[in-house]
Structure 1
Amino acid sequence: MNHTKTGLMKIAAIQLSVIENDPEAMVKKAEKAIRSCPDADLVILPEIWQTGFMCFDRYEADAQTLEDPLITRLKILAKEMNVMLHTGSFVEKDKDRLYNTSVLVSADGDILAVYRKIHLFGFQSQETQILTPGDTPVVVDTPFGYLGMATCFDLRFPELFRAMVDQGATMFLVCSAWPYPRLEHWIMLNRVRALENQCHLVCANCCGMNNNIQFVGHSMVIDPWGTVLAGAGDEEAIITTSMDPAETRIARQTFPGLASRKPFLNPERTGE
Structure 2
Amino acid sequence: MQVATIQLAAENDPDANRDRAVSRIRAAADAGANLVVLPELWPVGYFAFDAYADAAEPVPGPTTEQLGAVADEHSITLHGGSILERDGEDLYNTSVLFGPGGELLATYRKMHLFGYDSEEATRLTAGSEVCAVETDRGTVGLTTCYDLRFPSLYRSLVDAGVELILVTSAWPRERLDHWHLFTRTRAVENQVFLVAANLTGSIRGVDLAGESVVVDPWGIGRTNAGTGPRTGHAQIDIGEVQETRESFPALADRRL
1:92 match: 85
* 1:194 positional shift: 0.1
Once the two structures are superposed, what CA deviation does each residue of 1:99-141 show, in whole Å capped at 9, x if it has no partner?
A: 0001100000101110000000000100000000000110001
Aligned positions of 1:48-197 closer than 5 A: 48-197=41-190
C-alpha distance in 2 between matches for 1:222 and 1:28 = 29
Tell me whether 1:12 sits opposite 2:1 in the alignment: no
CA contact (8 A) 2:173 2:210 kept: no
1:133-171 Cα offsets, whole Å, 9 max, x none, are 000110001112110100000000000000000000101
Query: Which AA in structure 2 matches 1:115?
Result: Y
Query: Which residue of structure 1 aligns with residue 27 of structure 2?
Result: 36
Instruction: Please give the per-residue CA displacement for 1:196-247, whole angstroms capped at 9, x wherever unaligned.
Output: 0000000000001000000011100110000000112121110011111100
- The residue identity in structure 2 corresponding to 1:28 is D
Q: Which runs of 5+ in 2 are unaligned?
A: none
- 1:248 paired to 2:248: no
Q: Does residue 1:259 correspond to 2:252, yes or no?
A: yes
Aligned counterparts of 2:25 and 2:203: Cα–Cα separation in 1: 22
SS of match in other structure, 1:36: helix
1:27-57 CA-to-partner distances (Å, cap 9, x unmatched) read 0000000010122110000000000000000
User: Structure 2 counterpart of 1:78, which letter?
Assistant: A
Using the TM superposition, give the Cα deviation of residue 69 of structure 1 relative to its aligned residue in structure 2, in angstroms: 1.0
Deviation by residue 1:1-48 (Cα, 9 ceiling, x = unmatched): xxxxxxxx110000010111x100000000000010122110000000
Q: Percent identity?
A: 43
- In structure 1, C-alpha distance between the alignment counterparts of 2:234 and 2:60, rounded to whole Å: 32
SS in 2 for 1:207: coil
User: Where do 5+ consecutive residues of structure 1 fail to align?
Assistant: 1-8, 264-272
Give the length in aligned residue pairs. Answer: 254
Distance in structure 2 (CA, Å) of the matches to 1:149 and 1:197: 14
How far does residue 67 in structure 1 lie from its aligned partner after superposition?
2.7
Q: What letter is aligned with 1:222?
A: V
**CA shift for structure 1 position 68:** 1.8
Q: Which amino acid aligns with 1:114?
A: T
The secondary structure found in structure 1 opposite 2:174 is coil
Q: Distance in 2 between matches of 1:142 and 1:59?
A: 31
SS of 1:216's equivalent in the other structure is: coil
Task: Within 5 Å, give how 1:22-33 maps onto structure 2.
Answer: 22-33=13-24
Larger radius of gyration: 1
CA distance in 2, matches of 1:16, 1:112: 23
Whether 1:223 and 2:249 are equivalent positions in the alignment is no
* Alpha-carbon RMSD: 0.6
Q: Distance in 2 between matches of 1:104 and 1:90?
A: 11
SS in structure 2 opposite 1:77?
helix
Task: Name the residue aligned to 1:266.
Answer: none
Paired with 2:231 and 2:85, the residues of 1 have a C-alpha distance of 25
